[in-house]
Structure 1
């Protein structure tokens, strides 16, 4: 091998390449450069604030070949670490970046422990160098991810987490903010997704640095505006496949164009997959907090004490509401605090309504939430407000009641349900959604005409008291797996179908099995004629049965007692003093008969319900249920929701509202509106679309618009009466017409002679 000793001292990249190939042959040259490094470093220590190009090249060179001469360079990493620890604030920015790069090279070669290097880099985050901080942040995230790639390294993770915990309390705001950003990024990458990391981040919510506090709150809210902006920019750059395919068809075929088409198709598929992916949120982090009650109380106390911006207060209120809803916490001062802001003119009032709904759960005492609901109704659901404000208020009431039904009382609910026939569609639909909610939860609070026909599912509804849990000892609907239960159901249906004109009794049953019945036997005869008409004409009841005429509602509200009383008055007027004791005895007999009949029906339903429960519990205990069994049970439960309890009449399925962990803002802001289709709005939209567009019609192609036009161009603008004789002249004449024209011409010439 030919050695060029005279060139190697000045050509470090070439020497580096040769050393990596054959370290032993070039050891002398390496030692020469190492001595040069020692002397240059001593000179640099005198003036650390100036850039030394020679030292810069030597440090990178030694870092590249350090694995070849590990014995000679045992102190080299520590020298760099000492320089950065002692003189990091006075070092030249270029030299500081070089030292950091060299340490990263040594770390990648396994010559430096990760804890020593990462702890140093965390200290360097205090430097007034944005590029360096960003560089170090990327390396820290990548290095920790690589350390935990194969398996979790608990020792290193614990050491670094403890160090980050101390960094959050650092007086330097930049270092604290960078530390919280690194932990959040590692959690998103599923590297540090344990409870300790989440609780360390939770301490950032109480930081005196506003940026650290906001970053921690955003982490628990699961929102990142920068990511949303990047998604929007990506959507603008999406490839238009149709245009590329058309260009490929028209233009000249080539291999380059085929590759371009293939690449565009791949990008299109990738963008489509990206759109179909569900958004990722860090809601699970809220479940990992060790002391959610104490965390929520501290946050609320800090928010009341500090005078932060309105946006920061909104984020704090949002986190507190999510904690209360997820963990069923008790924070009674939270609701009066929000109650002050429930005004239609309040800024971001829909978000505040969302927070109230999120903070509602079954264990909140109704006395605490009732003032909030009354304030909400008084300020929003009044006719002096616009229809949109009223609809939002009704939607917010619905979301609160879906999580805490006991907060609604009968009088207030019946007042709100009167808006079901309101002139504005948005208010009408919001009121009907509230009715639909209480039909499936607490139908007793609704007026009889708003309860709808009872189904098999709602007939067994039981209104839970405060703190009561509906715990079942069996799988509901499991009785369908017994063949005998099918035959019993058919027999029951056939028995019910014999007397189609009767409604089931409800007034006398307040047990768990009979909590969903709404029509009394005293009213059976009043509704007998109406029911027979419905049965003859099919199922004419729809979801809009509330919008019936007032006469029908009055007729439904009439009871048997009032009819008998009216009959008694008429007979008294006719007989004028006749004995009325036979009439009284008839009334008493009829009442006794109806009471006995209703009692028999109630007892029969209790027996059937008890029999169903016994069969379901028997199957749940005796056998293991498979996927097919659960499919049958689900089908039976759906059937119970759509099947009428008495006569088996089908009606549209009323889906229960999804009580998710969080309240969607769209559920409160969901307003039904009829689009404008009048002429004025259509013309405005047409004119808006014509802005910036060329005028439709003939385009004058002259270069100079002031020059004259040809006769052919002028002819296009002339009136038809001026050119119609020329148009007619173009028509071909017949032979007869030509003969007549020639004859007239010859006669005319003869006369002129």
Structure 2
């Protein structure tokens, strides 16, 4: 027996896969063989730490690691220290390990996690430090994929708060370790790289890479909706203040919702080259498959590129902790290191700062002074800078702070020598600023706020009179510099340039709706003049917020809808009742049957029979009288300038609204706004429709709508001439033109087929075989024609062509 056991042990040592299979079937029967292999692993590990370059020992060592990892769940006590030994070996000796050995160690740690030998946190504590030090792209992608998969699996059913807090603490520490470094900036990248190489040792590069990986991992987990809380946003918020410019840029792009330029982008498939090769080479099935594959890849590439439009990360902006302090630190970073940052990086910081200011209504007044020096038409990225200025403005921004930027815009962009595009950009920027702070153009006037807010009074009329029209009874502020500027900008509505004209009309429409008192009387329009006379169109003073909500917008539409349904149901019930009594016939008794027909009634007896609808007449008279009284009261209210009180619908006090009712209210508001636009409601109706659609989309996505706080470059540049189409647009137009026809057919034949028309003889002759055409009489006659006949035919053709010309 002893010889057989020894022989079996020697055989199994040389064949680890067989031993692995036997152990999984009977762990207790092969415990001694496993312990022998475990001791062998310890001895080789000690030797391997001293001589890691030995290829033979490395291969044996890798085989032993794979064997023990497979059977470790069978012997939990004996392999309790085995995972920590692998982690220590990987982290402490990573630089001297063979690349294949590194890969085996990582894969076996993942295997131990899949077999529940170690928990996810132990695995992640080993993998996180490897990301900034590994140089193999394959191993790096494996580690990154493993981290994301582990986190997604752990939070799949319910949120694993313990694991999330631990991982977020590790990532926060990776970013925080580099916060004490010096800000070098990215202006003069070559010189900055030399300084960075001289001042930053390899440890500094490791700290920088750690922060970069922390930001990238947070962005990926946010994109996959694994993390959606404020702690994840705090990691990226701290990275926005990191001294390394690359880390700053990656963190800022997270909030802006755009792609970082440093990130690797997928290349466009070479569809043109594949088409050219398919044309010149021999036609094969394989070449057809390659061409179809290239077409699919190109289509997918352009679709993904179109879907990757930059859109602000609204939820992340909402979850910022203490946005005022964060905004002030961003402005300090921007102002302090202005000469170290390139213009592109400064624009990134300005975009983030302005969006935070607009979303949270922050007042960082130094920003408006800082941005003035960039407000020139010759500045690179000027549309983005103008958008930053506009979206940093809100209703709580002091109007006096905005006067200087608007003056700079007017002097630099709006002068006779500038082009139409420059004019349009300047006016659009001023319009977007005024849309957010309407009181800017009222700065510099006398008694402006008092005249515009108090309403129509005798004192206001006597005190404030329009200079252009002394008979104007409306309250108009005293003329100042900004009012004169507004009048000058409105005059550009007569410009021949379409972009300038649209920009000026937009500014005019804005002040017609919000503050028509600042405009000349001839510029106000009929609606604004009537509203001002009635005292209905009064802007709120600066710093005031609208009153508390007293009703639900659109509730009256729901009440009308329900009344219509009830009346319709009542009419249907009445109609059903009449139908039931339609075939009814009165049964006559014996006494009435004697008459045998109609009953004669004396003509004098109809005097006592009175048929009257006096009730209806009285109700109609009362209704007319009530309508007349209401009309007189409304007229008196309009003349006295009193405020019109809105009546609260009865539905608000008699019914508890359900989510279905609110959904119906949204649909009814959308239909009413659409009907108003179709009936010629003007720009105000279009803006109201756009606001309702945006509100509905925000409710569907569950995100608060912050689009009003952001301005795009298109809003600043305005509509311009149509530019040259790119490849995607050209292909879209080509494919659109091919709709409704076959692969090798024209649309003309398809239209004739639809109408039932047949082909002409000339069209049919084109499809005739050549041998049949050669035997036709016309061809034979041409061949047999004499010289005189040919001359006549040529002369007739020439005369016909001259006549056609």
What TM bracket, shorter-length normalisation?
A: 0.5 to 0.7
Unaligned runs of 5+ in 2: 179-206, 443-482, 564-631, 692-706, 725-779, 790-805
Structure 1 equivalent of residue 551 of structure 2: 474
Cα 1:463–1:653 shift into 2, 3 Å: closer
Between 201-210 and 76-85, the greater mean CA deviation after superposition: 76-85
Cα 1:480–1:77 shift into 2, 3 Å: closer
Counterpart mapping for 1:151-550 below 5 A? 151-170=158-177, 172-225=207-260, 230=265, 233=268, 282-306=313-337, 307-409=340-442, 410-454=483-527, 460-471=536-547, 472-475=549-552
Conserved? CA contact 1:85–1:120, under 8 Å: yes
TM-superposition CA deviations, 1:599-631 (whole Å, max 9, x none): 9986342799866x3423655445456355565
1:290 match: secondary structure: coil
Distance across 1 between alignment mates of 2:92 and 2:681:
82
Conserved? CA contact 1:321–1:356, under 8 Å: yes
Between 46-55 and 267-276, the greater mean CA deviation after superposition: 267-276
Distance across 2 between alignment mates of 1:449 and 1:230:
55
Conserved? CA contact 2:168–2:232, under 8 Å: yes
Structure 1 equivalent of residue 457 of structure 2: none
Distance across 2 between alignment mates of 1:234 and 1:403:
44
Conserved? CA contact 1:381–1:394, under 8 Å: yes
Structure 1 equivalent of residue 156 of structure 2: 149
Cα 1:162–1:446 shift into 2, 3 Å: same
- Does residue 1:732 correspond to 2:764, yes or no? no
2:102 to 83, 89, 96: 96
Cα 1:113–1:450 shift into 2, 3 Å: same
Cα 1:333–1:231 shift into 2, 3 Å: same
Distance across 2 between alignment mates of 1:269 and 1:449:
54
Conserved? CA contact 1:50–1:92, under 8 Å: no
| Deviation at residue 438 of structure 1 after TM alignment | 2.3
Unaligned runs of 5+ in 1: 245-250, 487-598, 644-648, 677-726, 737-753
Distance across 2 between alignment mates of 1:60 and 1:130:
21
Structure 2 equivalent of residue 120 of structure 1: 126
Between 72-81 and 667-676, the greater mean CA deviation after superposition: 667-676
RMSD over aligned CA atoms reads 4.5
TM-superposition CA deviations, 1:252-286 (whole Å, max 9, x none): 9x9x9999999999989988986886856533111
Distance across 2 between alignment mates of 1:96 and 1:141:
20
| Deviation at residue 169 of structure 1 after TM alignment | 2.5
2:268 match: secondary structure: helix
1:38 to 42, 49, 55: 42
2:714 to 666, 670, 674: 666
Distance across 2 between alignment mates of 1:225 and 1:110:
38
Cα 1:618–1:634 shift into 2, 3 Å: farther
Distance across 1 between alignment mates of 2:681 and 2:238:
56
| Deviation at residue 442 of structure 1 after TM alignment | 2.1
Between 386-395 and 654-663, the greater mean CA deviation after superposition: 654-663
Structure 2 equivalent of residue 140 of structure 1: 147
Conserved? CA contact 1:475–1:617, under 8 Å: no
Distance across 1 between alignment mates of 2:301 and 2:642:
54
2:240 match: secondary structure: helix
TM-superposition CA deviations, 1:629-664 (whole Å, max 9, x none): 565566666777898xxxxx9767652386623111
Distance across 1 between alignment mates of 2:654 and 2:667:
19
Conserved? CA contact 1:354–1:668, under 8 Å: yes
2:238 match: secondary structure: helix
Cα 1:638–1:467 shift into 2, 3 Å: farther
Number of aligned residue pairs: give it: 561
Structure 2 equivalent of residue 751 of structure 1: none
2:157 match: secondary structure: coil
Cα 1:208–1:476 shift into 2, 3 Å: closer
Counterpart mapping for 1:648-687 below 5 A? 654-656=685-687, 660-673=708-721
1:462 match: secondary structure: coil
| Deviation at residue 236 of structure 1 after TM alignment | 6.1
| Deviation at residue 46 of structure 1 after TM alignment | 1.7
Cα 1:634–1:163 shift into 2, 3 Å: closer
Counterpart mapping for 1:562-641 below 5 A? 603-605=636-638, 613-616=645-648, 620-624=652-656, 626=661, 627-628=663-664
Conserved? CA contact 1:344–1:380, under 8 Å: yes
Structure 2 equivalent of residue 503 of structure 1: none
Cα 1:730–1:162 shift into 2, 3 Å: closer
Conserved? CA contact 2:87–2:126, under 8 Å: yes
Conserved? CA contact 2:269–2:294, under 8 Å: no
Distance across 2 between alignment mates of 1:200 and 1:211:
15
Cα 1:641–1:36 shift into 2, 3 Å: closer
Between 125-134 and 629-638, the greater mean CA deviation after superposition: 629-638
Conserved? CA contact 1:303–1:313, under 8 Å: yes
| Deviation at residue 403 of structure 1 after TM alignment | 1.4
TM-superposition CA deviations, 1:524-573 (whole Å, max 9, x none): xxxxxxxxxxxxxxxxxxxxxxxxxxxxxxxxxxxxxxxxxxxxxxxxxx
Distance across 1 between alignment mates of 2:405 and 2:215:
37
TM-superposition CA deviations, 1:78-120 (whole Å, max 9, x none): 2212323443444444333322222221111111122223223
TM-score w.r.t. length of structure 1? 0.65
| Deviation at residue 160 of structure 1 after TM alignment | 1.9
Cα 1:235–1:190 shift into 2, 3 Å: farther
| Deviation at residue 336 of structure 1 after TM alignment | 0.8
Cα 1:607–1:479 shift into 2, 3 Å: farther
Cα 1:418–1:134 shift into 2, 3 Å: same
| Deviation at residue 153 of structure 1 after TM alignment | 1.1
TM-score w.r.t. length of structure 2? 0.61
| Deviation at residue 175 of structure 1 after TM alignment | 1.9
Cα 1:457–1:66 shift into 2, 3 Å: farther
Cα 1:479–1:386 shift into 2, 3 Å: same
Distance across 2 between alignment mates of 1:729 and 1:277:
63
| Deviation at residue 453 of structure 1 after TM alignment | 3.1
| Deviation at residue 356 of structure 1 after TM alignment | 0.2
2:84 to 68, 78, 89: 78
Conserved? CA contact 2:559–2:649, under 8 Å: no
TM-superposition CA deviations, 1:282-335 (whole Å, max 9, x none): 331111111000001011111222222222211111111011000000100000
Distance across 1 between alignment mates of 2:664 and 2:59:
76
2:77 match: secondary structure: coil
